[in-house]
Structure 1
């Protein structure tokens, strides 16, 4: 078994020569060296053998009857099946012309008769080694080609999947982000860019969290929610590139150790609906207070007036009781009206924000010596009810502070309508105060004004 294996490993050699002595000698030399040898005394027998057996090497004589070695070589090189078999010409012809012709037809070597056995073995081994290396190289190339084709196929499949995922990523109607455990953004989709105005290229150039959440305390809470990646939804108000605040809700899901996906929804319409519902409930409560409590106190005062006239001759003690009841009823009516005013600004019921500001400044001017100027800049457009309500309350608080505490002689109220934002400016020439003081915030209602501005997505 080992001998057979050795023969197969050494290689199979076809010897073609019409001279028996040469044929026997070459067969003996090569067989003793471990090669498997097939002798062929003519060209026809050699070609017939090759039809069913492909040798690893051919030793080919040139001068043979009928069909010489050149013709045999020419036929073998013309066939794709046999063109790669190395052919060593072995001949008594030693002219340069013969050698050139042999090599031009595809021969790999040329041995001149008479030959030395060692020379034959060396040249045969050299060509078979080259043959083996060529086969190995060819196999490696085929394997590499197959691997490259498989890699191309996989890359193409991955590219198609990536394009599909990118299409879904970009066209899904929610905001999507990919970020790491440090809160660094790596990818945002089109909805994120459209709503917040921050492009994919910019996320690597700016601090996204600082851009969206200017308040450091809120930013810390947002980052904690992002890194925790619990999948629970949480509402955040964030500032877009144009300076407007947007109500959003976010849930975060961890994909792997260092990658988290954030899913965000624009809940502005939901918040507006909630605010509208709250406002409607406030208006309902205001109507109830006005129609029941305030009317009841008014009725009590009317009847107390009538009772006072009837009881003119009553004792001083009785009159004092009636006076006390009348004072209590008046205070109750005042509180009821104040509650109605707090729940539903009467100024906004009769018109828009601009007309409400005009009436407010006229009212305040009527009981103060302060000159109050109200101006409107830009083309007026409607704002949400909750925004107009909060802006009016902020203006009312600021005007009251300016008149009551700043001792201003002139106050200027300016409402500016721009394409993407609306500005309320109130300036006075009175004395100022430290806005960072806690006592000032509580006394002058600055904290309340800031909270109202934040509630509607504004800045102070």
Structure 2
């Protein structure tokens, strides 16, 4: 038992040296082998050179934060199975949810207790050891498939016994046998040997109408026609298959997770209703991407979209335009009319700007307090100037009074426009800096106008 503990190799990733010292000392006392990294890039390199048995990962770090490190490791087949324990001073539920969404296995809040850290490390290492044993058993099982043909045949004969077990399951479960064309040998349909009540309910059928019947192809085509071919592939290749799909059940869209495994000349399938989980994911995604006041995209989505469109336009050698817009004398508006009217003003300006954008890839995002940013892919300088003029006109037509403005009796905006064809030698920051400078020039020249950036 002692030799197993010694071989456990743990990587600690934290930019705070005192934290590294405390954790290192704690773990070495328990005979763990410890390595350290002070930033995300170094951590990823260390994992690729020598994968540890477990990673303790801080979230707030310069450069790549812990979330990005975790996502990178979990997207790599060589490192995705390494358990990751987040250890952070961030204690909000949102931070913890995000940690698990990116692939974290556990989360410890600073300040931590030594006993808790050691217990959670031991738990994750135990789980990993069990998973390794399970993988070995799976490999062993594959090697024995040829010897188990007779066992599989007997499983079909004992389906009555199996049915008594699966009927109590909260998941939809079915076992199906291939029905082949006697001339071509191709699978024409599947006969439902075992179907539990939940599975029949998912198909909106009575149990007696599907059990033992040749109706599977007809029913599955109503859900998604491509699924039938996927199930045929499981039988012909022996490769298990897993997929999430949506299905309009009694007028309501519901989501299901489906796992199919080859079983002799057929397959078994388990279907779980994951609608509530999907709804929660959608709510979390909306919460993370929408500005709470104006209802348009937030700064996080702006940064992500700009980076994505930069790559797309660079690949396609198409222009990418950006408009940064600021409300003129907005502090004086807030001071005079009050913050409630100020919020209403921002909402109306956001709606007016969104109204101008017609193409699916064009987006407007709240860039700062009273600043907005508009991304216009595949748009040249003239097109961006025309869009800026339309936005100005739309906001003017709102007719929002601004008695404390130095430039207009109505709420007005200053806009900075930039446009480039992205290259590998530049970056999205170049486009942002150009638009920002152009907007500053618009303000210097009297506000209530749009200025396009030039090298002069």
TM-score past 0.5 threshold: no
Q: More helix by proportion, 1 or 2?
A: 1
TM-score normalized by the length of structure 1: 0.32
Q: Which has the higher contact order (CA 8 A, sep 6+)?
A: 2
Q: More strand by proportion, 1 or 2?
A: 2
